[in-house]
A and B are shown apart, each in its own frame.
Chain A
Amino acid sequence: MDPLGIIYLAFTLLVVLIGFSMLSGFGSGITFDIALFLLSLTAIIILALNWADFIVFPAFTSFLNITFQPARDYTITKKQDAVLKNVAGLYYATGYLSANLFPYIFKMEAGEQESEIKALQAADVWEKIVMSLNIPFKFHVLSSGLDVQGFRDELEGARGYQEFQLARAYESKANETTITEIQRKISVIQARIDKISQGEKPIATVMYLETTAVAVSEKAAIDMLNAQINQLSVAFGSFDVQLNRIVGRELYTLFKFSFSLPPTYEKMTTYFQLEG
């Protein structure tokens, strides 16, 4: 969780705490119970919005039947899972799936046999997917260079923490497996630090799939889009990666990304926290 999120959570929950501390001011009996219920419900809603706003917000807009128009001719559906465009009476529905196929941090994570096998198979798997699908789709890799010094500091912090864990494991005479696991983590972090020392630049990526369906009515376009999303999920399942339908504010963000990208990495990451 990022520091800004903690600030928002702390301040708003502080208000609920103030309410709990003043519960006696709401009398006794049924009024006390109602006040207690309202305060508890608020705390639950805030916590739910913090960890699962992509469920809560679409549920809210679906329940109230609210749609949004992000730009001329475009509409975000009440379920917040598709963007509709009306072109001369035809409806184009666009939906997104998160699909982080490769955890790129450096240009190539050398030395790891697993990633080498994955890279070797990638071209074949990709070609099979393209050949098997008969729907239009886009596979996007949004990439950005990271702040080298900041990333190095982060890695050194992580290495320090793992070294502390290792020392504790030695002190408590932990079993061989635990010690080997910690040593492995340290060597992975050290390999990354070495890469930075050699002049390689760390990067961050966000990968997602986009598909568009067309029909003569909104409902038909959305139904067709759902079918296409399912097809994509099945096809890309061969990459052994978790594919999540993008809904809510992240859908709006990706819609905006169709026309302009965020100028910096920091801005890019603020949009993707929960489903990334």
Chain B
Amino acid sequence: MDIQTLILIVCVVISASLITAAASLSAKEVTYAVKLLLLFIALMIDIIGFASRYYLYLLAPLFTQRRRHVVISNEDPYWLSASQDAILRKEGESFVATVYITIPVYRSATEMSDEEKLSFSTQVSRMVGLVRNPARFTTELRVMNKDSYIQRLRDTINVAENEEVELQSKNASQGELSRVRGKLTMWRNMLESLSNSFSFELMSYVAVSADGAKEFEAVSIAQQRARELISGIGSIFGVQPNTVTGNEILRFVEPEFMIPISTVSEQISRGVEKEVI
């Protein structure tokens, strides 16, 4: 008998017994207020018994902690496997490993004929139908991390500024100076326009999980399922999907990778600007 069924039975038995006791006690032994209190407690237990079906994960911490911020778990939600190709999570007594696979399909509907569009939809349907065990297909529109690109632009601007100073000190011709200044203006404009708005990238991937009694067992089953999916997706789209490894997995799991921290300051300053101006 599982814990949920046991809780239901215990709640039903206790509440039924309390109601019977409350109704059976004679008014000489207890006041009606006590009878109603017993009835109220019994009905609360009955409601808890019903709610335990869906909310068992919350009810136990709610009653034991008795505070407004209820801690269900204080542990990290997952950890990276030793082989660096899956994330692991403990569910009861078993381990669940999840493997991520990228799908390198870059096609645009604007470049497709009607037949190609229909065929692409069929391919997507076939891909979704590949699975035996649950798998999650995801398409993500994420904010690009432009940090390194912005840094490159800044370096280029610095080089151009040095060039301009050097030319001025050498009393170079006006034509030479105009050419460098023009280049400098172009790079500065590009930096400004790049910082003014987000750039987005679209990517598709699949997540597949497997459970096992040991970590390595869960990981190897998940990898096996991933290989099956890779060959299926590869044959449908004619591309080579890859398993994601190492810190790259964080991009698919953590919310801060959806909007990289480096771009957040830009968003916040734009928000403040909107409020102030």
Contacts and interface: CB of A to CB of B under 8 A. Distances in A.
Contacts of A92: 255-256, 258-259
Contacts of B68: 64-67
B165 interface: no
A21 to B, nearest CB: 9
A127 B110 contact: yes
Contacts of B117: 119-120, 122-124
B70 interface: yes
A173 interface: no
Contact of A14 (B12, B23, B210): B12
A38 B255 contact: no
A127 B108 contact: yes
B-side interface size class: 35 or more
B72 A261 contact: no
A124 B109 contact: yes
Contacts of A123: 109, 112, 117, 120-121
Most B Cβ at <10 Å: residue of A12, A57, A145:
A12
Contact of B32 (A26, A38, A41, A53): A26
Interface stretch (B51-59, B149-157, B172-180, B185-193): B51-59
Given A92-B256, A143-B129, A265-B134, A42 B73 contact: no
A65 B142 CA distance: 33
B78 A42 contact: no
A122 B121 contact: yes
A72 B73 contact: yes
B51 A49 contact: yes
Interface string A34-58: 1100110110011001100100010
Nearest to B109: A123
A144 B134 contact: yes
Contacts of B76: 71-72
Contact of A136 (B43, B143, B210): B143
B256 A85 contact: yes
A142 B133 CA distance: 10
Contacts of B237: none
A50 B141 CA distance: 36
B135 A260 contact: no
A136 B39 contact: no
A67 B69 contact: yes
Given A70-B72, A94-B255, A136-B258, A143 B134 contact: yes
B47 to A, nearest CB: 6
B169 to A, nearest CB: 44
A261 B136 contact: yes
Contact of B129 (A57, A67, A107): A107
A237 to B, nearest CB: 17
Interface in A118-133: 119-120, 122-124, 126-127, 130, 133
Nearest to B267: A214
Interface in A87-107: 87-88, 90, 92, 94, 102, 104, 106-107
A15 interface: yes
Interface stretch (A3-11, A164-172, A176-184, A186-194): A3-11
B35 A261 contact: no
B197 to A, nearest CB: 8
A226 interface: no
Interface of A: 4-5, 7-9, 11-12, 14-16, 18-19, 22-27, 31, 34-35, 38-39, 41-42, 45-46, 49-50, 53, 57, 64-72, 74-75, 85, 87-88, 90, 92, 94, 102, 104, 106-108, 116, 119-120, 122-124, 126-127, 130, 133-145, 201, 203, 205, 212-216, 220, 249, 252, 256-265, 268
7 contacts: A15-B42, A18-B16, A42-B47, A85-B256, A136-B259, A215-B271, A259-B89
9 A-B pairs with least C-beta separation: A25-B23, A22-B23, A119-B121, A107-B129, A123-B109, A71-B77, A261-B209, A260-B96, A144-B134
